[in-house]
Structures are given as C-alpha cells and as structure tokens.
Amino acid sequence: IDWVNKNKWPNPTQMIADLKKDQLNSILITEPFFLKQTKAYPFAETYLAKDSVGKAYELKDFYFGKGGLLDIFRKDAGDWLWNYHYKKQIANGIAGWWTDLGEPEKHPSDMLHNLKDLGVQRMMKADEVHNLYGHYWNKMLFDNYAKSFPNTLLFHLNRSGFSGSQRYSIFPWTGDVSRNWSGLRSQ
C-alpha cells in the first residue's frame, strides 16, 4: 500500500520520475488483502469483510501472514482504497495497475460481504459472490480513475473478472502459469 522500506526505496517519487525520463512508466501490483502487522491495517479494518459476529474476518493461514480481505462490494470501502492508496500513488507518478489475487485467492466460505450498496439487504457468503469480486474491484478502479483522470486511459492488468469486465479497461492475463506443457494445458 505504501513505500515502507526506506532502505530499498528512499525516495520513490524521484525513482519513478527518473524512470519516466527514460520513457519507462511504472505500474504497481496491488492486492485486496491487508495484513495485521502493516501500518495500513488499522485504517483498513473497518472496510474488511466480516465474520459471523460482525468483526473483521481474520485470515489465519494466508501465506503472507494474518489479515483480512477488503469488502470491495461496499462503496465506502472502494472509495477509501482509492483515496488511501491509488490516488496517492498516482500522484507519486504511477502510470498503471496490476491488481493481483482478486479471485480472491483466499476467500473462505464463511466470510461475509455487505452488498447493501447494490440493493442486497442480507450479508452474503463468500461462495455467493466469489466470482464477482474481481469484477467489482475492476469497476471500482475504473470508475474512480475515469472521474479523477477523464482524459487519461487507465492501464489495468488483472487476472480476475466476470462477464462484462472488459468494459472496465482491464487487460487480462492468465495468472501464474507453470512453465511446462502441463501448466499451459491447464490454462
């Protein structure tokens, strides 16, 4: 979400500007998961998918660490992510986005999502909305980008979507493919 390692990236804005001088545009990989040990987690916690008692659902076995998944179906969650992350990084010079793990990769059946902004009055289980998650992430990014930068085409690489996601200016990719014939065959 931010450039926290000052040893590796002491001045990210300058680095991005220097790359741009060489005709290189920077894209960032973004994931919808927030880890508990990060400085962003306390800000994100309000916007995470819930458990059965209404608390932020804690993923205990996510391979990066314990954390939660953004409830992208909530307009306020998407607006928060746009303002907290995307808009700030665009101001730093980022020219495009690679949204990863938006299937979402870790999406337990008992995780609950709030779709009231979409007219659904009950909480919905992950299995009911799983295939739509990437689509609504694409939509959120596209809508906010179009509103903030109406004269710029969004570059957005994503491996997740649904019927109609192409209208949100995504460039699909196949995901992490094993570099052998059986990996290609499964694609």
Residue 150 CB neighbour total at 10 angstroms? 7
State how far the Cα of 55 lies from the Cα of 45, in Å rounded to an integer. Answer: 9
Dihedral sign of CA atoms 45, 48, 49, 54 in order: positive
Dihedral sign of CA atoms 21, 24, 25, 31 in order: negative
State how far the Cα of 116 lies from the Cα of 142, in Å rounded to an integer. Answer: 21
Catalytic positions: 100, 103, 176
